Amino acid sequence: MKSSASEEKAETEQQVQRDSNVDATRWNETPKLLIKGFLMGSADIVPGVSGGTLALILGIYSRLLHAIKSLNGQVFKKVLTFKFKQALEIFHWKFLAFLMTGILSAFLFFTKVVPLQVYMFTDPEIVYGLFFGLIAGSIYILIKELNTFGIYHGTALLAGIIIGFWVVTLVPTETPESIFFVFLSGAIAVSAMILPGISGSYILLILRKYDYILSQVGKLGTPETVGGLLVLIPFILGAVFGLILFSRVLTWLLDRYYTITITVLIGFLIGSLYVIWPYQNRTFKKIVRKTQLLPVNDPRVQELKQQPEFENRPEYHQLGEVHSSASNGNSSKIEYQTIKKKLIKSRPYIPFIASASTGHQSLSTWDFWRGIIGMAVGFAMVGLLDKLRDD
């Protein structure tokens, strides 16, 4: 028992030395950090997966938390006194700049070039299968690399699994829209975002603030801009507060109880696999995002009448009610609606095992194999990620 305690203490001291307060980022690390940021940004796009998950898998989790923690009161003091060089010496700007560049590149690539959010609706089996295989394979690598594993670590792993599973299966509840609760929602969501296995957007969904916050963003640039800002400013302040506070808590835990903390985080990853399993019954909420009144003879209306758009997409158009403005039918107008679909519930099932209780949706043989292919590709990518890991 004493030997195990001394080994963990020595390991903790080595970890603290590796995670010094000085930004040791080298310029030749740029390509690797850009790739890691890109992978983190890719994960953030998929509901149920967080950038923190990839940061842990890629071996930069502790380093990321220390970089966030470096934005402290001393940095602001140096900036206010125009000592910018000294401020940059304290703040890990190089590491975060490279990482954020990769993250933003992923957002642009998977929204403009390869619309991953569309494929999550049209081909969910292969997209979720890819991340399931990636995370499942990486869990094995992370557990294998633990230098010690005793009863305390087993208990920590089980606790992490239970907490992770509990969070991803929470049912959305009704919550207030007061300034304080919006501030609190921002703090909780951003804290979850840096936790492996827990998605910040999923937490907002549970708190019933996901659509609410997005609707406030949509008000920007319209006559309702001021109203939108009155909600978004408290949310952003809450996110900043949560990020600063929670990163310090996690950094403290990693510096003093590294192995136990990592074991709990691995448990979070295992618990989150429930919601990433590629074969799910998914329930969506349809939201009318925009409605235009168009003449019935408008080309867009006629095109939609002849060939309705597929609803198996995150956003599509449909026709609503007809509004007659005069006795002459030619002057009638019709609602041209933009519909946005939001995932509100998902329930996994085992393919081809049917029962009245599960009531799972029909699954074609091709959809089944797409899930298998996605998982196989995800497992294959684990080897690549292992090479990108920081020692």
Q: What is the pLDDT of residue 10?
A: 47
Strand partners, 323: 333
* pLDDT one-digit tens code per residue, 2-60: 455 545 544 544 444 444 466 678 888 888 899 999 988 887 777 667 788 888 888 88
Lowest mean pLDDT among 32-41, 235-244, 302-311, 360-369: 360-369
Same domain, 116 and 45: yes
Distance CA 20, CA 369 (A): 47
* Position 359 in a domain: no
Per-residue pLDDT for 227 more than 70?
yes
* Position 218 in a domain: yes
Strand partners, 338: 290, 317
Same domain, 68 and 20: yes
Same domain, 209 and 313: no
* Position 356 in a domain: no
Residue 198 domain boundaries = 2-281+373-386
Strand partners, 281: 347
* Cβ count within 10 A of residue 103: 22
* Position 363 in a domain: no
Q: Count of domains in the chain?
A: 2
Same domain, 167 and 234: yes
Strand partners, 287: 340
Q: How many residues does the chain have?
A: 391
Same domain, 7 and 44: yes
Number of H helices and E strands in the chain, helices first, is 17, 3
Distance CA 62, CA 39 (A): 17
Lowest mean pLDDT among 128-137, 277-286, 323-332: 323-332
State the DSSP H helix or E strand holding residue 68, giving kind and residue range, or none if neither: helix 61-69
For helices 225-256 and 61-69, give the axis angle rounded to 10 degrees. 120
Q: What is the pLDDT of residue 162?
A: 93
Same domain, 181 and 159: yes
Answer for the pair 25, 101: CB distance below 8 angstroms, yes or no.
no
pTM metric for this prediction: 0.72
Same domain, 272 and 331: no
Task: Please give the residue that has the higher pLDDT: either 175 or 243.
Answer: 243
Distance CA 285, CA 287 (A): 6
Same domain, 288 and 277: no
From residue 50, alpha-carbon distances to 197, 322, 378 in Å are: 6, 43, 16
- In single-letter form, the type of residue at position 17 comes to Q
Average confidence (pLDDT) over 179-200: 82
Distance CA 216, CA 12 (A): 44
Average confidence (pLDDT) over 309-318: 83
Same domain, 202 and 287: no
* Position 223 in a domain: yes
* Position 83 in a domain: yes
- Residue % of the chain over a pLDDT of 70: 86
Distance CA 167, CA 203 (A): 8
* Position 76 in a domain: yes
- What tokens appear for 379 in the block? 């497992």
Answer for the pair 19, 92: CB distance below 8 angstroms, yes or no.
no
Q: What is the pLDDT of residue 158?
A: 94
Three-state secondary structure call for residue 323: strand
Answer for the pair 277, 169: CB distance below 8 angstroms, yes or no.
no
* Position 357 in a domain: no
Same domain, 92 and 157: yes
Q: What is the pLDDT of residue 172?
A: 67
Same domain, 211 and 94: yes
Same domain, 130 and 243: yes
Distance CA 205, CA 192 (A): 12
